[in-house]
Amino acid sequence: MAFGDLLEQVGGTGRFQVLHVTLLSIPVLMLASHNLLQNFVAAVPAHYCSLHANLSHLQLSPEEALQVTVPLDPKGRPQRCRRYAAPQWHLLAENASDGAEGPGAAELQGCADGWSYNMSDMGSTIVSDWDLVCDLRSLKEMGQTVYMGGVLVGALVFGALSDKYGRRILLLISYLLMAVSGTCVAYSTSFSYYCLFRFGCGMALSGLGLNTFSLIVEWIPTRVRTVVGTATGYCYTVGQLLLAVIAYFIRDWRWLTLAVSLPFYVFFLYSWWFHESSRWLALSNRPEQAIKNLQSVGRFNGRHEEAEKIDVKRLEESMKKEMSCTQGSHTVLDLFRTPVMRRMTLFLSAVWLSTSFAYYGLAMDLQKFGVDIYLIQVIFGAVDIPAKVVITVSMSFLGRRPSQAGALIIAGITILINLLVPYDKQTIRTCLAVVGKGCLAASFNCCFLYSGELYPTIIRQNGMGWVSMMARVGAMLAPMVLLTGDHLPWLPGLIYGGAPIVSGVAAVFLPETLGTPLPDSIQDVEDRGSGKSSKMSARETIMLQDTEGSFLKQAA
């Protein structure tokens, strides 16, 4: 008897599982809201230097005041970061030309009196509130990097603590941390406090993703993990669409932040009903509590008699195999000790880092496409739906390796082609960006499954933890690359497009796993790398299919 048999005995897909998975999946809808919140709370409105102080008492129209104060750029728009040192009254004369260029050009200066913002299309943002423009423009990108740093630290902290203290209590803490940090972000009085509390939101997001995934898969039977994993993964996709709707109706950044944070107080309150994983309790030498939870689930599912038959002896027998799989001491260093494992880990690190790097490079800079940011957010979110379907079919028929490499290379090519499209061709630029973003979303799905199949059982968690960390490093780097565009406008696109192509080529050298048994030991991986193979048993086939549920972790 395995633990799954005990789960079936108390009702593997009963009312408890339906309610349990539903309540855990609802917060996943809001994860995308915090991940992509920067697109709206840090949107950059049209701006230019404020008028000279001595012009305030004059009877000038706004257009005339702007004309004598701010020079025009080569495209005929007011310059954002410079103004005339003194008002140029002669420009009010009919047919007068801008005197900012050429011989005898008027003296220019920085925006000594601050900036004026055109807020006709949006409410206040952190950019307009704290003047994160011109010389302070880099602070906007740093805010997103700090948030992603919190995601990285949260993965390290909550991942270790959940194995020690349990999934449920860490999930409760994550809900509360997200609610409190998000509320504090909305009431931040300075950019420093904003970054501090956004870091807390990032940590909470990791805790939510990791522990939600664990509690879902550890309370459902193996046969439905793929379906449940797919459905929960789509909750994150729907969350991207939900964010666009919320942001469209709530234009002020403080109220928007509150709107996506306050629901986590509700999630915190109802999460006290969640049952700790009986599987984790049994592995943590707490069999009595594990039995109590199993019996509670049995009663909820209407299986009172079957639940009462479970005792400590039956639980220990069911966990023998699980305990044997946890024996032995393995660390992250084992990922690099042997030649095949080392090469595989380096290639997978490149795949994960570049996928996340390019994904957030596209998804976090919506204004560059020249299209309404609310519309482009809906399109970017919707494209994930067909992308996931296509990559799932491709992985099943063409294989994991060509699907992974193809998704990355196509994404990189579309990003590079976009560099050659004129800025005024907004429809073409948007279509190419949508294709690239869809390919990167597909790459995320593929690499979760592919990595889980490549790493052996005894070190799979270490391997998945390592490559997930690489993905978060890529997400941290993505916003900072945008700053290189101040000097070379084409450089960010070149980097965002080149990275997936290089990692796509690296993916070609990974072994194919479609139709092959899951490796159990490091030696199995080395044998596979040397060309040795074995026939897949029926049980291994089932295990391989069940692994597909792992891409649920994208919500993290």
So what's the pLDDT on residue 392?
A: 83
Burial class (CB in 10 A: 0-12, 13-18, 19+), 273: exposed
Residue with tokens 């102080």, as numbered in its chain: 53
Residue-level pLDDT at 328 = 58
**Is 274 within 8 Å of 20 (Cβ atoms)?**
yes
**Same domain (yes/no): 391, 320:** no
The Cβ of residue 252 has, within 10 Å, a number of other Cβ atoms equal to 15
Q: Do the domain assignments include residue 44?
A: no
- Per-residue pLDDT, 114: 84
3-state secondary structure of 184: helix
- For residues 308 and 383, membership in a common domain is answered with no
Residue 390 domain flag: yes
**255 in the same domain as 167:** yes
- Does some domain include residue 447? yes
Residue 54 resides in a domain:
no
Say whether both 421 and 488 belong to one domain: yes
Rounded to whole angstroms, the Cα distance separating 389 from 302 reads: 36
Answer yes or no: is 145 within a domain: yes
Same domain, 280 and 406: no
User: Measured at the alpha carbon of residue 448, what is the angle toward residues 206 and 168, in degrees to the nearest 5?
Assistant: 35
Q: Are 415 and 493 in contact (CB under 8 A)?
A: yes
Q: Evaluate whether residue 396 is within a structural domain.
A: yes
Asked if 261 and 397 sit in the same domain, the reply is: no
432 and 502 fall within a common domain: yes
Q: Are residues 346 and 309 in the same domain?
A: no
Q: What is the CATH number of the domain that holds 16?
A: 1.20.1250.20
Residue 524, domain member (yes or no) = no
Query: Which pLDDT score is estimated for 190?
Result: 92
Closest CA to 472 of 142, 152, 37: 152
- Position 408 scores a pLDDT of 94
Residue 317 and residue 170 share a domain: yes
**In this structure, are 356 and 377 located in the same domain?**
yes
CA separation (Å) from 363 to 35, 358, 447?
10, 9, 19
* DSSP symbols for 319-331: THHHHHHT-S---
Domain containing residue 418? 335-512
Question: Is 122 a domain residue?
Answer: no
Give the pLDDT score at 56.
Answer: 63
Domain boundary among 328, 355, 378: 328
Judge if 377 and 486 occupy the same domain: yes
Phi, psi of 215 (to 5 degrees): -65, -30
What is the model's pTM? 0.81
Any residues with CB less than 8 A from the CB of 339 and at least 6 apart, and which? 526, 529
Q: Domains in the chain: how many in total?
A: 2
Task: Give the pLDDT score at 495.
Answer: 92
Among 294, 312, 328, which residue terminates a domain?
328
Is residue 428 domain-shared with residue 339, that is, in the same domain? Answer: yes
DSSP at 188: -
pLDDT in tens, the chain (556 residues): 566 677 777 777 788 888 988 999 899 888 888 888 988 998 888 888 888 777 766 667 777 778 888 888 777 788 888 888 887 777 777 555 555 554 456 788 788 788 888 887 778 899 988 988 888 888 888 888 899 899 888 888 887 787 778 888 999 999 999 999 999 999 999 999 999 999 999 999 988 888 887 788 778 877 776 677 777 778 888 998 999 999 999 989 999 999 999 999 999 999 898 888 887 787 777 878 888 888 888 888 887 777 677 777 777 776 665 666 555 566 778 888 888 888 999 999 999 999 999 998 888 877 777 778 888 889 888 898 898 888 888 888 888 899 999 999 999 999 999 888 887 788 888 889 899 999 998 898 888 778 877 888 677 767 877 888 888 899 888 888 888 877 788 888 899 999 999 999 999 998 888 877 767 777 878 877 666 544 444 344 444 444 444 433 433 3
In a 10 Å sphere around its CB, with 0-12 CB exposed, 13-18 middle and 19+ buried, how is residue 77 labelled?
exposed
